[in-house]
Amino acid sequence: MSTKDRVGYVGVGLMGHPAAENILRKGFALTILGHRNRVPVDDLVAKGAAEAPSPTALAHASDVIILCLPGAKEVDAFINGPDGCLAALRPGMAIVDKSTGDPEVSRRLGAQLAERGIGFLDAPIGRTPKEAKEGRLSTLLGGDDAVKARVRPIVEAYADPTAIINAGALGNALLVKIVNNFVSFTTAVVISETFATASKLGVPFEPLCAMIEAGGSNSTMFQWIKPWILQGDDSRGRGVLKNGMGVLEAYMRLAKNIEAPTTMADAAHDALTAVLNAGHGHRYIPRLPGIMAAMAGAAFRSLEEGGP
């Protein structure tokens, strides 16, 4: 009989599907929650996963539940909502929340579940769907160290072991992720404005990219965006722009609540608001330079090339 924890997985979308597939591949019994988008669900079921019709059924079939949901509201609803799983949770279970939610909600849920003998970690992920498929996501872990040790074999199924970062107490992982996301997304806005202006000035892109790569302006975000600028390839950064607004607003709420400076956040928010109002919220982040160039009357590549 297997001694491995049975894993329940909720949220098998762009990032969740490949992560769940890797958990299954590593030999864990996997149960996933059904969803209206049947393609990833049916794919995982065909590969050996079971499908649960409800959060309660999923909890009954699991020892560790992993959540990959849009945010804190959905996580709270999965546990405490009218159709939530709270009554079906058992002492000794653990919940690993990969969602980029709210640190205060995570702390509240953690305290609530601890009273029932259930572990809870905030464990937001980083990198892209490409790394998710390869089982090389990065992740932060916040919460009780014993729970972290218990779930680590499951986490290592979808995350690069060298990029599993212990963030300390519950809620800290989300704080780190939100601040880091602000750096990443604001960098994307700066890169995009740079190339929109360069396009209007007639600056050649190849030497500009080479100069950025040779100096202090280079970054992982630039490496995700550059292939679309030069070849129309957006495969390295397939986060959608409307989610970037959530990134900025989560950071801004935290910063403004403590009266920290938000000059760059405000500027990036204004730029993204204009992009979303122009109907580009569904597009991937690497296309942002082209969007901003087109909005400035200096389009250099079709926004329809290669996908969203």
pLDDT along the chain (308 residues), means of 10: 86 95 98 91 97 97 96 96 97 96 96 98 92 96 98 98 98 96 95 98 98 96 96 89 90 96 97 97 96 97 79
The model carries a pTM of: 0.90
Q: In this predicted structure, what is the pLDDT of residue 268?
A: 96
Q: In this predicted structure, what is the pLDDT of residue 1?
A: 42
Q: In this predicted structure, what is the pLDDT of residue 130?
A: 86
Q: In this predicted structure, what is the pLDDT of residue 15?
A: 92
Q: In this predicted structure, what is the pLDDT of residue 306?
A: 65
Residues in Cβ contact with 96 at an 8 Å cutoff, skipping those fewer than 6 apart:
64, 65, 66, 67, 121, 123, 151, 154, 155
Domains, the chain, with CATH or none: 7-168 (3.40.50.720), 175-295 (1.10.1040.10)
Question: What does the alpha-carbon distance between residue 303 and residue 308 come to, in Å, rounded to a whole number?
Answer: 8
